[in-house]
Amino acid sequence: MPASSISNPTWGVIVVGGGHAGAEAALAAAKLGVKTLLLTQTVDNLGAMSCNPAIGGLAKGHLVKEIDALGGAMGQVADQTAIQFRVLNRAKGAAVQATRCQSDMLAYKTQMRARLERQPGLTIKQAEVAGLKLEMGRVVGVTSLMGEEIKAQTVVLTTGTFLNGLIHIGDQRHKAGRAWEFPSTLLAEQLKALGLNWGRLKTGTTPRLDGRTIDFSKMEPQPGDDPFVPFSFWGPPAQYLAQQPCHITFTNAKGKEIIEANIHLSAMYSGAITGIGPRYCPSIEDKVSRFPERDRHQIFIEPTSLASFEYYPNGMSTSLPLPVQEAFMRSIVGLEQVEIVRPGYAIEYDYLQPTGLKNSLESKDLPGLFAAGQVNGTSGYEEAAAQGLIAGINAARLTQNRPPLVLGRHQAYIGVLIDDLVSKGTAEPYRMFTSRAEYRLSLREDNADLRLSPIGREIGLLGDKEWDLFNTKQEALARLRELAHTLYVYPEPGAPPIEHRLKLEVFLKKPELDFAALERFKGQEELAPLAEFTDAVKKTVETEFKYEGYLRRQESQVQNYLKTDAIQIPASFDYTTVIGLSKEVCQKLLQARPQTLGQAAKISGITPAAIALLMVAIQKGRK
């Protein structure tokens, strides 16, 4: 009897996996009018926060704002389910300030699932994908573990840590994708058999603690911002959740002794783990080993949900045996009587080297196949969601015979993320940082909508309501800029000292002065019109004036970058014909197969001289 198929014989897009990347990919594809099927092992875990209960943070908050500006879901769901908001790096410049929220993990996945289930054109099925269907070297669907053959024009892989996933707790090993869910082994082996370049990575999570056994009185409370700044540009949810404090405590010398005495039992140090772990999110064993001079490390005790007593000790991922985890946790001030609800663990998994992808996130070797999230070697919910959004958009656009959406490094952190991955690849879990964005002064959180919402509107992700809000903000910005060119601020007793009258734009350019300082200039009626503008509008205009010279210089750098990056390298280009290129350089270029000269310039070992030779050869070829 022939294999069955799910309902409709052909789908436009199949999304494999229902995590943060899969959710954004499926929503985007369906919103663009393409019949979309999301396949996940466990429907109950759609949009689950499998590790820390938080969204955003340094550079990650920029990604969330950009997802929201384009029409993605993460920012709005984060606002609906946040139990604490904080802006990080307030004391630093606007470019590196970032929004972070503590999330209600249970509410987050409930709200994301509801959004997925309400989306017209999107079907959700519980099934494990065992392999890809190929015809003439092209991906044309998937096969399930139950023997179903499901045809599609495109497939988006968002398998997270499930490919050959292996969980470690001390010397205990369990095949699992995350938190005891089944791993994806058949699909992983097929991808290897197809000759795709793959590797092995490791990540980890912390033990979860029973909040009823924590003595918070011994810890430093960490409240959120009041008032707070949400993520979404498109208005607040119907109601925010009750805001909760986090708490800070520290490890100590006693805990360090426990780790040192038992570090040989950690899966990371016993030789059981071969995958490379995240350099910027080390386990507690790594912290003790790498920083032996330090007796204490900061731990954030974070609530996971208003409906749960579980707490998350941020900064405490571990693969030590459970008895050692318990002993160590109880050495920490405030946790002397703590009970562990779930042990921490490390997880190894296969990933696909992202240099095998185009900058649209489509495979170079298997047309019709897109990949997003941890399967591409990244870490973090936000990095996954950003990739999922772009992969979903481009999978849908491919079915519509439309060109892919590609964001440049000068346009968005999303562009930096994808360009880094496809140009350089990664040998460790990739995490976004503001330092990775060379044009970060113009890629701020506050202007993500100004940069990207016109794109979201053009491709069809932003509706009329969002577009009206965007245009209203644009009009307010224009009015405030005009007022800043015409209004004057006069010296006044009790206000910040200025020697003589200043035009408002000059006033705002001074490092020590801002719109908040204007509130102390109470006797000047001509400043009254400023009260009608929102804090968000004021912040954007203030930043534009303060950094005007730097932004102008950065724009010049962007134009030079675009000249190089705009030069396309033909897929059939023969590097061996370029006189002057070494064999080593040719091999690296053949392996990476860059799509543009800008991508070629980022490959390790490719010199400026080699790029100059390539530029001449490509231009001659065109003539």
DSSP 292-341: TT-S--EEEEEE--TT--EEEEET----S-HHHHHHHHTTSTT-TT--EE
DSSP 188-242: HHHHHHTT--EEEEEEEEPPEEEGGG--GGGSEEE---SS---S-SS---SSPPP
428 in a known ligand binding site: no
Q: What is the phi/psi pair of residue 216, to 5°?
A: -70, -20
18 in a known ligand binding site: yes
Q: Please tell me the predicted confidence (pLDDT) of residue 3.
A: 40
Instruction: Give the amino acid at 411.
Output: Q
Residues near 16 by beta carbon (within 8 Å), at least 6 away in sequence: 22, 39, 129, 142, 155, 156, 157, 158, 159, 187
Residues near 596 by beta carbon (within 8 Å), at least 6 away in sequence: 564, 565, 566, 567, 568, 569
184 in a known ligand binding site: yes
Q: What tens digit of pLDDT does each residue of 36-85 get?
A: 999 999 999 999 999 999 999 999 999 999 999 999 999 999 999 999 99
Tally Cβ neighbours within 10 Å of residue 120: 7
231 in a known ligand binding site: no
Alpha helix segments (H runs only) across 432-463: 448-459
Q: Please tell me the predicted confidence (pLDDT) of residue 6.
A: 44
451 in a known ligand binding site: no
Find out whether the peptide bond into 367 is cis, omega within 30 degrees of 0: no
Question: Looking at domain 464-562, which of 1.10.10.1800, 3.40.50.300, 3.40.50.720, 3.10.20.440 is its CATH number?
Answer: 1.10.10.1800
429 in a known ligand binding site: no
Global pTM? 0.93
264 in a known ligand binding site: no
Q: Which helix (H) or strand (E) holds 518?
A: helix 515-518
289 in a known ligand binding site: yes
Q: Please tell me the predicted confidence (pLDDT) of residue 556.
A: 86
Class at the top of the CATH hierarchy for domain 567-622: mainly alpha
Q: Which CATH architecture has domain 208-347?
A: Beta Barrel (2.40)
532 in a known ligand binding site: no
278 in a known ligand binding site: yes
178 in a known ligand binding site: no
CA–CA gap between residue 352 and residue 169 (Å, rounded) = 25
In 3-state terms, the chain is what percent helix, strand and coil (to 5)? Answer: 40, 20, 40
The beta strand positions in 147-190, using DSSP E, are 149-157, 166-169, 172-175
Domain residue ranges in the chain: 208-347, 464-562, 567-622
121: nearest Cα among 53, 27, 241: 27
| Pairing of the two strands 149-157 and 10-16 | parallel
CA atoms within 13 A on the CB side of 356: 22
Q: Please tell me the predicted confidence (pLDDT) of residue 623.
A: 60
129 in a known ligand binding site: yes
288 in a known ligand binding site: yes
285 in a known ligand binding site: yes
137 in a known ligand binding site: no
CA–CA gap between residue 491 and residue 613 (Å, rounded) = 60
142 in a known ligand binding site: no
Residue 8 exposed, middle or buried by CB count within 10 Å (0-12, 13-18, 19+) = exposed
284 in a known ligand binding site: yes
Count of all residues that appear for the chain in the document: 623
Q: What is the 3-state secondary structure (H, E, C) of 99-145?
A: EEEEECHHHHHHHHHHHHHHCCCEEEEECCEEEEEEECCEEEEEEEC
Beta pairing partners, 36? 13, 122
User: Cβ distance 133 to 142 under 8 Å?
Assistant: yes
List of the chain residues with pLDDT < 70? 1-9, 622-623
